[in-house]
Structure 1
Amino acid sequence: MSLNGQATQPLRFIRIRSVLIISRMIRIFRRTSSYLVSHRDLYPPFLAVFVPHLLFWIILLSIGEIKLQL
Structure 2
Amino acid sequence: MGKSSCIVNEAGDGMLNISDMEGNSFTFQTDAAGLQVNDKIFVYYTGNLEDGTAQVLRVEKYVSEV
Aligning the two structures, in what range does the TM-score lie when normalised by the shorter sequence?
Answer: under 0.3
Q: Select the structure of larger CA radius of gyration.
A: 1
What TM-score, normalized to structure 1? 0.22
What TM-score, normalized to structure 2? 0.23
